[in-house]
Amino acid sequence: MVWHLDLVLLLFLVATAIGVYRTKDLLGAAIIFSAYSLTMAIVWQQLSAPDLALTEAAVGAGVTTVLFLITISRTTRREDD
């Protein structure tokens, strides 16, 4: 049943979100964040919104993550400075 899969995915979303919060290494956080976005894309696919799934995959997981990465490489990896 689709709705149960959804349930798992949603809980995974929460897990990744908390992971983003707890990770000290910004690079890791960025990666986790892209995982979060991808999960979100799947959730939207499950909610039968393919356009959004595509967009989120391309933008959320793709471009946003790349932007985060490049910012981190331009500035710093460690969270405390």
Partner 1 sequence: MNKKVQNYFVLIVMLLCWAVFLFAVAEMPLMGDPGNITNTHVVPRYLEKGVEEGGAPNIVTGIILNYRGYDTSGEVTVIFTALIGVLAVLKRENIKKDKSLVEISPVKTSVIVTTVVKFLTPLIILFAIYMILHGDVSPGGGFQGGAITGGSIIAFTLTFGLLATMRKFRLSIRIPLESSAVLAFIASGLVAMFFGLPFLTFLIPGFGFHTQELIRHALFIIIEIGIGVATGIIFASIFAAMGKVSKE
Partner 2 sequence: MTFLSKLGTNFNYVISTLLFVIGLYTIITKPNLIKKFMGLNIMETSVFLAIVSIGAVRDGKAPIVESATKVQYVNPLPQALILTGIVVAVSTTALALSLMIKLYEQCGTLNADKLKEFE
CA proximity to 78, closest of 28, 29, 32, 26: 26
Nearest distance in Å: CB 48, partner 1: 10
Q: Say how many residues make up the chain.
A: 81
Q: Near partner 1 by CB under 8 A, which window of 13-21, 27-35, 71-79?
A: 71-79
- Residue selected from 7, 8, 14, 59 as contacting partner 1 according to rule CB under 8 A: 59
CA proximity to 53, closest of 41, 61, 40, 65: 41
- The footprint of partner 1 (CB under 8 A) covers 49-51, 53-55, 58-59, 62-63, 66-67, 70-71, 73-74
